[in-house]
Structure 1
Amino acid sequence: MFDGMQRRVVSIWFPRLASDRALRLRPLEGPFALTHHHANTNRIHCLNSAAERAGLSRGMPFSDARAFCPDLQSRPADPRGDLRFQHTLRRWALRYCPWVGLEDEDGLVLDISGSAHLFGGESALLMDMRQRLLRAGITAQIGLGDSRGAAWALARHGEGAAEVGKALEALKDLPVSALRLDEKTTVALGRLGLRTINDLANAARAPLTRRFGPSLLMRLDQALGGQPEQITPLKDPPHYGVRLTLPEPIGINSDVMEGTSRLLTQLCEKLKTQETGARILALTLRRVDQDSQQVELRLARPMRDAARILPLFERGIKDVDAGYGIDQMRLEAVQVEAMPVQQLSHVSTGGKDRLDDLITRIGTRIGLENIQRFLPSDSHIPERGFIISPAAYSTPDSAWSTIRPRPLHIFPPNPLMGAHTAAKPPKHFRWRRMSFSTARASGPERIAPEWWLEDDTWRSGVRDYWCVETRQGRRLWLFFTPQSPSWYVQGEFA
């Protein structure tokens, strides 16, 4: 801000931000509310004007709201979506000034000092804001003042604008809650007869400081402009995209690969600066006829090494139809993940890098989700001792640990033929129409059911597992059920 320039701040409050966003996506007529689960019941989170006219309010139990208004329509609230929408509105507000920040969960604050004349003055700027928000179906209340506190108070307690240097005149009739005070302080001030900002401004400051502390008068001074309050604009998220415009169209694969190499070098420098790595890359090739070809590359691990990524583009670039030539190339990291700098070690990771590159190459043909690996699971039940996860989105951090060896092949239990009711493995038995003789047996290993899981196959009781080596060369995994004496085969060792 230039010396001598009067600071002017705009506060925009969106009292129905969540419901306005929901109705923009799926319009409805009549009373409408968003609900969220709080204190063991569904309550109203946000509602439209029709629901307010029906006597409903925020925080009301949803069952009571339906009793008051049987025609009420509802949807679950989406706080994350509302936050993204608030950030979208912040980017829109950058058209008015470069200093825009978030205000609570449902507002924006703008420092328009020195930029109002670009829109024909403050009144014209505020009118332009209101009209654009109204056309977009967004309810907004706007306040303008010399300070952030004054603008906030005017936006939420009687939409209006304070003239330069006349903050008290504009705020004097507003309640003390307009100073951004907590409810406890507001109630205590009301008991003392201090209900408006004018009452508070004319009261003795020393007794108020002794009773309420310095924060009360700090809020008053911030609203009246006696104490400065900063507006911290949010930084735009880093954009991971680079572009190359060619003086002459190209179409040969080697030329396209060379252009991709230059773009990758620039992009990887951006990724390294932000300590991130790319998981999904999109290469867009614009032809001279304005048509575009896109090559998407999904990586098995976040990467920012241009030399390793470039060969992985080769297969996709070969399938590109260059037409009469390509005159522009654009490379963007569509999805990125944190990839902080790590301490170098004497242990080489070259083997792991080659495995990741192999998974990426195969994944470009059949899909990364179709390349899977087995991972250990925290369960002693044989069928639950492992999970299957996509190799590109999982890391084998933990090792397999078992007290007893487990067979390589596990299948649903198959009963042995014949009446075998003894607790020790039978000397002779038939399984899958084959006869076997026991040469050596080790066990038992008793495994109890996991009672907290719904598994009908294990509800019968404990199992005693045995590793049985047969004279025919097969090594089988048998178990005995003491509660109903029977023998089963569930696995085979290699």
Structure 2
Amino acid sequence: MTTAAGQGGVRLQAVDTLAARQGLRPGITLADAQAVVPTLQAIPADPVGDAAAQATLADWATRFTPLVALDGADGLLLDITGCAHLFGGEPGLLGDLDRRLAKAGISALSAAASTPAAAWAWARFHTTAGGGPILPDGQAARDALWRLPLSALRLSDRLVDDLSRVGIRRVEELARLPRAPLAARYGLEPLRRLDQLTGDAPEPMTPVRPQAPYIVRMPFAEPISRREDIDAAALHLLREMGGRLARDGKGARQLDLGFIRTDATSQRMAIGIGRPMRCAGHLLRLFGEKFSQVDPGFGIEAMVLEAVSVDAMAPEQAGLEGGAGGTELEALVDRVANRVGPARMGQPRPVNTHVPERAVRRGTVDGPVSSADEWASDAPRPVLLLPRPEPVDVSSVLPSGAPAAFRWRGDRYLVARLEGPERLRGEWWHGEAPTQRDYWRMQMVDGRRFWLFQAAETWFMHGWFA
């Protein structure tokens, strides 16, 4: 059992089955609980750890359905629409769920119903109502729910007590009351919960993971842990995913591979692709570089592959030797990006500006070049531009005003040839000062070629050519 500080002292927050049989329940003070059970053992609650464990369990539950939502602080809501047949129907799915949770040492109450509210109520009260874990449809479901106590409506304890004082203790007794007087006296909460129970009011769920447009999964008859088995299963999933994407003319841009373990935990890894791709061999190589990080634990019981991001993929003409052009470079880019991270990769992109320091920006590896992003000048530019212009000491000047010799970084240079000037002005339309620079391309006697400019009677080194 766990405890937490509350009004009037420390109170029980959660109790186990044995404590519940002794009459203990959440909310009573620890002193009262110890008076009933002197040998009571309780530990402080850990809400942060409980939330992390619940999130881990929710991720594991995606082996049954991709739509899993948190239900309060101690429950999960699974939308199994279209998934139950994969496990032999709802009885097979619930039986498999209960067995795997029990094997992992987790006690749970489970039930299946047509609405989230009905599933919540039936999971907690179907044993006392004398029914199985699967709530029937139609009038039989309504009759079964009507026999449940008021607490099955997820009402507050105070509201349940208030209704009990006037003789309303079961759902059917509340449903028979006129709605207007009931709302006037107790508010809209009882009516809203009642409508959610019957499906007359919507109750949307928010999955812990957004549903991917394409999902393929592979459960295993026996848990696997060897690298060879993981590779084979991943290749099978990638081929199946590729077939589905090909039928729709799509290619994957981001894939997520999940490993569902026998201890009710899971592990996930993702890869990104530079352009739409569905080649299983290439994608397996990208995943394979991360498989060393897989911790199978006591065994992997299922693998789930999700195409988180997809794009249209047009057919490509193969080369004369059977290979598509450029695939080697794209494969290299994908491997490096997944190894070091896409944020650490890029390529230079031109910027339409007259200021050389801003003429290049870092862009994505695969992003298109806009027609507006073109250099403002067609004049030659150096292959290496200094981050900031550095002043040079001119020792002699030619008749054109350009230096014949200068000293830079402690070395002296003699000019053999030069070309210029090219005048560049500050971009006044961006609010900059109307300064100007006169750039010269200069070749030294030793063959090196520099890019120098003069501004306000001072000369600066700005870069050099190949």
2:20 equivalent in structure 1: none
The superposition leaves residues 145-175 of structure 1 with CA deviations (integer Å, 9 ceiling, x where unpaired) of: xxxxxxxxxxxxxxx9xxxxxxxxxxxxxxx
2:166 equivalent in structure 1: none
Cα distance between partner residues in 2 of 1:430 and 1:480: 15
1:414 equivalent in structure 2: 390
Contact 1:439 1:471 in 2 (8 A): yes
Contact 1:276 1:336 in 2 (8 A): no
Residue 393 of structure 2 aligns to a residue whose secondary structure is: coil
1:394 and 2:374 equivalent? no
Contact 1:420 1:487 in 2 (8 A): no
CA gap 1:350/1:396 in 2 versus in 1, 3 angstroms: farther
For these two proteins, the number of residue pairs brought into alignment is 274
1:370 equivalent in structure 2: 344
CA gap 1:370/1:238 in 2 versus in 1, 3 angstroms: closer
1:489 equivalent in structure 2: 461
Residue 296 of structure 1 aligns to a residue whose secondary structure is: strand
Alignment partner of 2:419 out of 427, 442, 465: 442
1:256 equivalent in structure 2: 230
Cα distance between partner residues in 2 of 1:246 and 1:283: 15
Structure 2: which amino acid aligns with 1:382?
P
Cα distance between partner residues in 2 of 1:417 and 1:493: 20
Residue 427 of structure 1 aligns to a residue whose secondary structure is: strand
Trace 1:60-79 onto structure 2 (pairs within 5 A): none
Contact 2:394 2:459 in 1 (8 A): no
Alignment partner of 2:298 out of 313, 324, 346: 324
**TM-score, normalising length from structure 2?**
0.51
Alignment partner of 2:214 out of 223, 240, 246: 240
Cα distance between partner residues in 1 of 2:140 and 2:333: 55
CA shift for structure 1 position 118: 8.6
1:352 equivalent in structure 2: 326
Cα distance between partner residues in 2 of 1:116 and 1:249: 40
1:272 and 2:249 equivalent? no
CA shift for structure 1 position 370: 0.6
CA gap 1:363/1:328 in 2 versus in 1, 3 angstroms: same
CA gap 1:258/1:454 in 2 versus in 1, 3 angstroms: farther
CA shift for structure 1 position 269: 2.3
**TM-score, normalising length from structure 1?**
0.48
| Structure 2 unmatched runs, 5+ | 1-78, 82-113, 116-136, 147-152, 155-179, 181-209
The superposition leaves residues 57-78 of structure 1 with CA deviations (integer Å, 9 ceiling, x where unpaired) of: xxxxxxxxxxxxxxxxxxxxxx
CA shift for structure 1 position 238: 7.0
2:314 equivalent in structure 1: 341
| Structure 1 unmatched runs, 5+ | 1-91, 97-114, 125-130, 133-159, 161-235
Q: Percent identity?
A: 31
Contact 1:289 1:324 in 2 (8 A): yes
CA shift for structure 1 position 298: 2.1
2:263 equivalent in structure 1: 289
Residue 403 of structure 2 aligns to a residue whose secondary structure is: coil
CA gap 1:470/1:368 in 2 versus in 1, 3 angstroms: same
CA gap 1:389/1:453 in 2 versus in 1, 3 angstroms: same
Cα distance between partner residues in 1 of 2:140 and 2:330: 54
Trace 1:180-219 onto structure 2 (pairs within 5 A): none
Structure 1: which amino acid aligns with 2:393?
M
Trace 1:7-22 onto structure 2 (pairs within 5 A): none
Contact 1:300 1:359 in 2 (8 A): yes
Cα distance between partner residues in 2 of 1:413 and 1:366: 32
Cα distance between partner residues in 1 of 2:142 and 2:226: 54
CA shift for structure 1 position 491: 0.9
CA gap 1:400/1:342 in 2 versus in 1, 3 angstroms: farther
2:402 equivalent in structure 1: 425
Contact 1:300 1:368 in 2 (8 A): no
Cα distance between partner residues in 2 of 1:307 and 1:256: 14
Cα distance between partner residues in 2 of 1:237 and 1:453: 45
